[in-house]
Structure formats: structure tokens, C-alpha cells
Structure 1
């Protein structure tokens, strides 16, 4: 083989193991899921091709309501995580006593296994012996025990609070790293010119960390959209479907009801929605960046 050809092929040979692993772990399951979505696969030993029947079932039932609830759940959770996480990053980036200890203490919600953290929150939401209901009764805000996970509205809010508690440390660390990368000379020049703290944050910090915030927002949105553990451990999608998101509905259809074909169709819908959402998000961010430039 000529030396030039060897030199050209060498980088691709180095990438070959990663490409093979990606195809086996990602591409093949995705293709298999798409194939299953066009069949009536279940516990039966045989499966038949049924075309778009599974997709027609999706839109003929309550799935549009599940889609809307999923986006609502994701939007509230991501907005709170970004708001609280950014505010926490600003505080941790300030020259205050005990800053190092505060940075260490912000980690546990993210480090603790999700299942353990959610079980603790489930205990706190309990109306009979949970801490939250007990405190509300002690301060006479409520007149008796309140089962947060027994009602649709409070259960929905409870899952959001738990998700924000788990996801905020990651946002805080990510935004804090972006803040620490801002050159200190800019702050010194602005301080010499008499700029206040708020002005420096609006004109220096925020524009420079905006790409990091945009990236973290997208990643957090995808993670939240696909979140399963929190809702399943707390409510299993109840009460009366009040916390059933697309992931929970897909799991119930494919695993609990053994309707693999319908579950695969729902999974394909999730992939399409997330792909479209990511594309629209990047498009809007690029438009915003061009206007800002």
C-alpha cells in the first residue's frame, strides 16, 4: 500500500473502534426500535407488519396530553434549575468567607444516587410522618396531614422540586466554571471606570457565560425530558396520570403491558421530538448570537 494512502487511512483506523462501538450501542438499537414500531410485537412468538397502526393509536388516544404535560414539566424544571443554579454560581464565585466549604456542600444532591435521594424526598412528602407536612402543620399553614403525592397538582409540583434539587448542582458547577474563565482584567477595567456590581454582571459576566448557559439549558432539557427515575419512584406516573410523561407512558406500554410495538412507536416519537427540539433550539440560539454580534 502506498505511504500516502497509509497516512490518509491511519486516522480512520484509529477511529474505527469508536465507530464500531457507536454503531453497536446506538445505531443498531435505534434501527431495531424503528423496525419494531411498525409491527404488533408483544409476548407472542410471532410479529406481523402493521404499517403506521401504532402511530395512529398514539394520536387517537391521550398521548397528545402526555406530550403537553412532558413539555410543561420539562420547562418548569429546567427554568428553575437554570435560575437557581446561576444564582448559586454567582454566590459561589463571590469573595465571601467559607466559599470553599459552600462549593463542597453544593455537590451532595448530585453525587447521591438518584434512587436514594428520591426515596428521601418521598419520605418527606409523606403526610403522616413526613417533615414537610409536619412543618406546615406546626406553623399552622395547613390544618391536618397533607399527602403531597396523593393529588395531581401537588404530586406534579413534588416531582419538579425533587428534579430541581437533583439537577441544580450540575448547573451551578457548569456555570461557575464558565464564570471563572472570564478574564479578570475586564472586571478591573470596569471597576476603574466606576461600574457597579450589577452593571459588571450584565455587561461582562452574562454575555461571556451565555454560551455555557445555552449549552447547559439544552443538556438539562434533554435530561429532564428523558427523566424516569424521579417520577417512577415517587408516583409511578400517578395519581390518575397526573405525572405521566412520555418516558413513563412508553415504559408502561412496552414493559407493563407487553406491547412492544406500541412502546417502540412511542420511543421513536420521543427521538423525533427531541431531535426537532434540539434543532430549533440551536437555530434560535444562533439567531440570537448573530443579533448580539
Structure 2
């Protein structure tokens, strides 16, 4: 009986073994190989030499610190706008209005359309000669002439943020809409019977109950935005004058465009470290807020 019980205890792990092997092959080995390459001078040559932490020293002796700061500004601005607009959109989609189902379907195209196609569309809109944005600006007197949004540093940086927000907001809205629909209707009805207005019900009933979903979506959106490559690369390729070069773009340019694989691997390792630290700090702050909320509820 003991032997049979031991086999039964091992059976779940045996079922998980194929998935574990595949995960290690797809994720584990490339990660280990990237770390190994980061300590070498690997490039387009038949041999590679161990260089220790020289690649990491080059990172912080160059312009990479400014790239890190730019990446965090780009990520926090974009994620903040996506969460704010997505929460507002989910609230509107959750309201009882005529044609609600049709409106929900119309919200989805920015997320469903392949990213490359959507970004190419935005690149046409930003064009100064035949782009709609420049044309409308001239028609309404906001611009004195054709304006190339992607040719100026600040304008290009804002343009990439707008495009990323347009692509990512529908997913946030639908995710939070699902969270709102899971709230029991009795809670809103009780608050309404007590004389609570719409804003008060949203602030005191809806928002606290969907806060775990907002926290989860914020973390996921931050990771996806931090690693976003195609939006910036299609629009500006990191330009003009590196104004939109984020950590992932800088890593690609170093490793692929300049064929310095060792330095590119070191930058990739730094990305993993920054995302791991960001996730750890984020979960720590969430745990502290949760404990504070529990203590406040107990005091009441």
C-alpha cells in the first residue's frame, strides 16, 4: 500500500514532466546561453573570448543610462494612459445603453488588427505631406504648414506613446469590463437604495472590487510595453537622433545591426534584471497596500 501511495504521489509530477522539459528547452536554455554570451566578445567571427564584466562596464559608461530613463518614462506614461482610458472605457461599456453589444465589438479592432498593419496606418497619419493629422491641423489653423511628426524628437516620442495606447487600450478595457461584470448587482442596488450616486458607487463599490484586476493588468501591460519592439521600430527605428530608442531597441541595434552579440546579450540580461526588480517591487507594494486595507477594515 505504501508503494502504491508513493507511485500515486509521483504521478502528478510525471504528468508535468513533458511541459517542464519543453519550458526548459524554450526558455531556460536561451536564457542561460544569453547570460554566457554576455561575458564574451561574441561577434561575426569564428571565435569568442571571455571578457568578464567588460560588456556590462560598456553599458554604464555609454549612453545606456539615458536609454533606461527614456524607457521607464515611455512605459509609465503609456501604461498610465492605457489603464486610465481603459477603466473609463470599461465603465462606459458596462453601462446600460442602447447598442451596447455593437459598441463592445467596435472597441476591439485596434487589438485584433495585426500590430504591423495598425502601426503602418499610424505612420501614414503622422506623415506631414498627406497625413490626416497634419491636414486637419492646417485646416483648423493649429499648424501653419505640413508637420512631420516623426521627424522631431519630442513629437516622435509622443507619437509612439499615442500609437501604443491606441493598440493596448482595448485589451485593458475588455479585461476590466469582465471584472466589472463579475461584481454582484446586489451591491450596486444596495448602494443605490441608500442614496449613493453613480460616482460614489463607482468609487466605493466598483473601484475597490476591480482593484486586483487593475493591479494585474498594470503589471502585465508594463511588461509588454517595456518589451515593445514593433511599434517603435516600424514608426521611427529608434530615431530621430535616438529620441525613441528604448532598451529593447538599443539591444536589437547592438546585437543585430552592429553584430556585437556579446554586448547585446549583456543588454538583454539587464532587461531581465530590471523587469524582475520592477515586478518584485510592484508585488511588495501591492502586499503592503493589501495589509494596510485589511488593518483599516479591522479598525472599522
CA shift, 1:5, in A, is: 1.7
Q: Tell me, which stretches of 5 or more residues in structure 1 are unaligned?
A: none
Q: Tell me, which stretches of 5 or more residues in structure 2 are unaligned?
A: 295-300
Which residue number corresponds to residue 7 of structure 1?
Answer: 8
Matching of residue 29 in structure 1 with residue 24 in structure 2: no
Q: Map residues 233-248 of structure 1 onto 2, 5 A cutoff.
A: 233-248=234-249
Which residue number corresponds to residue 41 of structure 1?
Answer: 42
* Distance (whole Å) between structure 2 residues aligned to residue 69 and residue 41 of structure 1: 27
User: What value does the CA root-mean-square deviation take over the aligned residues?
Assistant: 0.7
4+ runs deviating over 3 angstroms:
none
CA shift, 1:42, in A, is: 0.3
CA shift, 1:192, in A, is: 1.0
* Distance (whole Å) between structure 1 residues aligned to residue 99 and residue 75 of structure 2: 33
The 3-state SS of whatever aligns with 2:142 is coil
Matching of residue 131 in structure 1 with residue 132 in structure 2: yes
Matching of residue 85 in structure 1 with residue 91 in structure 2: no
* TM-score, with length taken from structure 2: 0.97
* TM-score, with length taken from structure 1: 0.99
* Distance (whole Å) between structure 1 residues aligned to residue 263 and residue 193 of structure 2: 64
* Distance (whole Å) between structure 1 residues aligned to residue 192 and residue 7 of structure 2: 57
Deviations 1:155-193 (A, max 9, x none): 000000000000000000010000000011111111111
* Distance (whole Å) between structure 1 residues aligned to residue 183 and residue 46 of structure 2: 60
Q: Map residues 43-82 of structure 1 onto 2, 5 A cutoff.
A: 43-82=44-83
Equivalenced residue count is 293
The 3-state SS of whatever aligns with 1:267 is helix
The 3-state SS of whatever aligns with 1:195 is coil
The 3-state SS of whatever aligns with 2:103 is helix
* Distance (whole Å) between structure 1 residues aligned to residue 100 and residue 3 of structure 2: 60
Matching of residue 118 in structure 1 with residue 119 in structure 2: yes
Which residue number corresponds to residue 19 of structure 2?
Answer: 18
* Distance (whole Å) between structure 1 residues aligned to residue 182 and residue 5 of structure 2: 41
* Distance (whole Å) between structure 1 residues aligned to residue 14 and residue 67 of structure 2: 45
CA shift, 1:2, in A, is: 2.3
